[in-house]
Amino acid sequence: MKKFFICFLSLSFLCVHFANAQEDTVSFFNNMEDSTDLIVDEKTLIGENIDSLFALWYIKNTIESNEMQQEVAASSGPIYFSDSVYAECLAKIPTTFPLVYNQDVKSWIEMYLRRGKYLIPSLLGLGQYYFPMIEPVLDQYDIPLELKYLTIVESALNPRAVSRTGATGLWQFMYATGKMYGLNVNSLVDERRDPAKETVVAAQFLRDLYKIYGDWALVIAAYNCGPGNVNKAIRRSGGRTNFWEIYQYLPRETRGYVPAFISVNYIMTNYKQHGYSPVKVNMPSYHDTVMVTNKLHFGQVEGVLGVSIEMLRELNPQYKKDIVPGDIAPAPLRLPDDCSAKFVEQEKEIYAFKDSIFFAPSVNYEVVAQQAYVASQRSGYRYDPEPCDASIPAGTSKLTYTVKSGDTFGFIANWYDVKLAKLKCWNNIESNKLSIGQKLVVYVPTKKLNSYKNVDNMTFAEKQAMSSNNIVSQSKNSGKPLDNRFEYYTIKKGDNLSTIASRYPGISDTDIMNINGFTAADVRRLQIGQIIKIRKK
């Protein structure tokens, strides 16, 4: 004990930070009632995490599929075993962590089984995506691999889960602890939501706690309630350092935290015996990372490469407003494996795609984010895709386009001046993949039919040039004199309406659009050398 308290004092500064940062970490145990029998209130204890889990768009899409509904309908309900079976199965799990079996653990096991209809298959499916990333990091820091299941107890494997006290991410780190361990948190980026980076910090945190206690059960308890509370429980117990011996002196939520962790180990190891199997989560099996060196909006990537915004959000949950601030410092962007090479090849086109719209000074990104995300009951977030609208606008005519090498949905939509979502809906397509020779239906204004008829026969360069044509018949191109009542500006390489407006105090990009009579489609076609009005003299 003397050695322990010397160690404790030497690390007191670290402990204070840990306690302040992490003791309020919230999982689904906040309102547990005092009871010697650990009465389990399912609605209170795990309801919030289940809401958070099912708010994920890929889980929601999976559990609403016909296949999943049929699977659930065919299931006969949870299968329970005797105490001896539970105890024997826990004893067979290879671990350095003492997986003690008692009635508290049994309560948690059977609660998971009762709530497991969608919960367990979803967690198993998510585990196939996240655990191969988590395990090597834990191994590198010599952390028992079974501690990966803390992410289930903490967040139900939702990287955007946010507790009522602000703990965030798979591992539910508080702001101060994240900053102390080097995670970047600002208005645009929250690296606590980056599964890879937060896992490294979690491993470092667990390692540092183990240096204090030398016992993984106490480490897990301290991860939940903070070292301050664990040390207090040790003192009140007369210096005992076994979790079950200090159990009654710990905060109420922590008394359930370790049994819940043990029960998750049981469920994730023995799910087959209870009739469960993983669902296929709609996430790419492989992804690659590119470095972004300019300001980038997810909508630009979707527009050019056809990777949906919701997919980009799930692969890159650290970007809170769908913006990658690569202009401040090179920033990573995860993409499906087959898109990374395309990004590098078309990087300039991606940065330039509708940049004056995505980065207009008038854009309120708080409003954009609130519109894009719908709060779940637990203050996590989910993305609700815009419903498919295949209606045909009045005054339009039908054309057919044949897909060619290098085409993307974003390019095609841009060439015909239609919304990407409309183009997909008209053709009853949900994925982003196109095949050479594939026929796509598109509807364009009848009045402009002749100008769109030849698009299908143009080369790629001609189509790109066409979509950037000069939309203002003035200046040297038309030979008409400029109106001397206005100030003018000649567009240069790298310009957009936002950068142009910044040169003129009191003028916004919206003012320039209004004075020139530009629509959003017109702005997309602005080109180098074009002369535009800025303001009246």
Q: pLDDT 10s per residue in the chain (537 long)?
A: 333 333 332 333 333 333 333 433 323 223 222 333 333 333 344 444 555 555 554 555 555 455 555 555 455 567 889 999 999 999 999 888 889 999 989 988 988 888 777 788 888 888 988 999 999 999 999 999 999 999 998 888 888 888 777 889 999 999 888 888 999 999 899 999 999 999 999 999 999 999 999 999 999 999 988 888 999 999 999 999 999 999 999 988 888 889 999 999 999 999 988 888 887 777 766 678 899 989 999 989 988 998 888 889 889 999 998 899 998 888 999 998 778 888 988 888 899 888 877 886 655 554 444 444 333 333 333 333 446 777 888 889 999 999 987 777 777 877 887 877 788 889 988 776 788 889 999 999 888 888 888 888 888 767 766 654 433 333 444 444 567 778 888 887 667 776 677 667 667 777 787 787 776 656 766 777 778 888 887
Question: Contact at 8 Å (CB) between 421 and 389?
Answer: yes
Give CA torsion, residues 323, 287, 301, 423, to 10 deg.
-130
Q: What is the pLDDT of residue 285?
A: 64
Q: What angle do CA 372, 375, 379 make, to 5 degrees?
A: 135
Tokens standing for residue 263? 């029960």
Amino acid code (one letter) for 13 = F
From the CA atom positions of the chain, what is the Rg in Å? 28
Question: Contact at 8 Å (CB) between 33 and 39?
Answer: yes
Q: What is the pLDDT of residue 213?
A: 92
Question: Contact at 8 Å (CB) between 534 and 507?
Answer: yes
Give the CA distances from residue 423 to residues 398, 409, 418, 444, 523, in Å, rounded to whole numbers and listed in that order: 12, 8, 7, 11, 20
Give the CA distances from residue 356 to residues 62, 417, 489, in Å, rounded to whole numbers and listed in that order: 36, 16, 16
DSSP for 87-131?
HHHHHTS--SS-----HHHHHHHHHHHHTHHHHHHHHHHHHHHHH
Q: Beta-carbon neighbour count of residue 229 at 10 Å? A: 18
Cβ burial 378-388 (10 Å sphere, 16+ → b, else e):
bebbbbeeeee
Q: How far apart are CA 139 and CA 126, in angstroms?
A: 20
Taking the whole predicted model, whether its pTM rises above 0.75 is answered as no
How many residues are recorded in the chain? 537
Q: How far apart are CA 532 and CA 537, in angstroms?
A: 14
In three-state form (DSSP H/G/I as H, E/B as E, the rest C), the secondary structure along 263-315 is HHHHHHHHHHHHCCCCCCCCCCCCEEEEEECCEEEHHHHHHHHCCCHHHHHHH
Tokens standing for residue 133? 């990333």
Helix (H) or strand (E) holding 323, with range, is: strand 323-325
Task: List Cβ neighbours of 355 (8 Å cut-off, separation of 6 or more).
Answer: 300, 496, 498
Q: How far apart are CA 161 and CA 382, in angstroms?
A: 10
Tokens standing for residue 78? 């949870």
Amino acid code (one letter) for 5 = F
H and E: helices and strands count for the chain: 29, 10
Helix (H) or strand (E) holding 373, with range, is: strand 373-375
Angle, helices 42-54 vs 103-114, to 10°: value is 50
Question: Contact at 8 Å (CB) between 506 and 524?
Answer: no
Cβ burial 175-206 (10 Å sphere, 16+ → b, else e):
bebbebbebbbeebbbbbbbbbbbbbbbbebb
Q: How far apart are CA 11 and CA 259, in angstroms?
A: 28
Task: List Cβ neighbours of 535 (8 Å cut-off, separation of 6 or more).
Answer: 486, 487, 504, 507, 511, 515
Question: Contact at 8 Å (CB) between 100 and 83?
Answer: no
